[in-house]
Structure 1
Amino acid sequence: MMEPIQAAQALDFSLMALFARASLTVQVVMVLLIIASVWSWAIIIQKFLAFAQARKEAARFDRSFWSGEPLDDLYDRLGDRPSGASERIFAAGMTEWRRSHRDDGALIPGGPARIDRAMNVAIQREEARLFRGLSFLATVGSTAPFIGLFGTVWGIKTAFEGIAMSQDTSLAVVAPGIAEALLATALGLLAAIPAVVFYNKLSGDAERVTGNWEAFADEFSTLLSRQMDEA
């Protein structure tokens, strides 16, 4: 009885050894899950940095917008290439605002509606940029456990085939195959859990950022409409 246990204890159960002993199909599954996990963490880090930068740019622009500086001067100072999302939304509205004036200074009918559409298009463009990559996190979170489970099922199948061929059900024969198979499930969970957690966190952050952009667009549109009414 002690000989099978000693034989099992003599085996190397490190992660690299388990990967090396696994079948080709299970190895492919493990590699895919590792790549998905690394890619997910790269997206997570990039999004945290992007959201922090977006909030910083929005706060800086809000200070400039509400500082009392004339909007035309602020628009001219930003130039043709605004750097932040809030600046690009503002520039889209101001560009349409200037186009809504005739040469004699009178307003072209339908100006407010065109300004709103221009800023909405700019918001949708920035929103698409902000949410880019989050769909990959959702995909990894929903599929990685099943991919890992497929690797586990395939590994167990291979282990039972080895048991049948060797006609030996000792611990030294059974344990390595089961351990290699379960490693695929562990990698699937390792990829899926952070992807799901941070997808929910980053989606909420993105919605708050876009909500601030929409609130600014509404305030800006109201301000321009008031100026049109006064004109």
Structure 2
Amino acid sequence: MAVVVNDSGASSGGSPGPTVTVTATPEPSSSPSASTPARRMFRYQPLWPFTSEDAAAAWQEAYRSGGKQPWHLDPGQTALSFTTGFLRFDEINLVVSRSVRGDEAFVSVGYRADTNPPSVAAVIHLARFGQGNDAPWEVVGTRDTSLTLTQPRYGAVASSPLTVAGRITGVDEAIRVDVRQASTADRLGTSCCVAAGGQNQPWSAQVTFQGATDPAVVVVASTGGHYQGVEAFAITAISAPD
């Protein structure tokens, strides 16, 4: 990940654009060979906020010309905008920690219950999407621990009804499954709720969805109810059949 702006996830808001370091260019030799920057390869499913590299490039143009939505350059703000804005998990409003290396970032987002230390609800994986030093951050998945989402396989082509499964460690959990896409505000489908709990115990649910048009569709598993509505979540990505 390029621009390191405090912890991934932060709700909407502006953060300064990236710092550009200009280095002197040596005088060309008698037979110069033009050098071009290596093209950044995007190896993941584009989940949010952009559905294509063209859409990310369109934002870059708007940012360069008028400073539009600078939060796309901050993995922390992007992660929190994903949780509070896209997923509508309003109570998951803290960036607990973050790790940024090159073009990838892992942002721990969470909440504070009463006077307790912050709790981590999910670790969101982000990657730079597009070309240039001002390529925006894109949510591509989560790093799962106590709540995992292993079925469907990441990037698989899947249709409705969809079987969703994983493992969970917890007590008296109720797992909700939502299917969403970046271009649509409403959920494409919901299944609620699967009773679960124990130590690394399997869980599964079936969800029906319709209206998937984006290249990648987000499958979200969430649980809570002890301190607040959502206390943990995990996501994966599927491709809907044409």
Measured against the shorter chain, the TM-score band is under 0.3
User: What's the TM-score, normalizing by structure 2?
Assistant: 0.20
If each structure's helix is expressed as a fraction of its own residues, which one has the higher value?
1
Greater relative CO (CA pairs within 8 A, separation 6+): 1
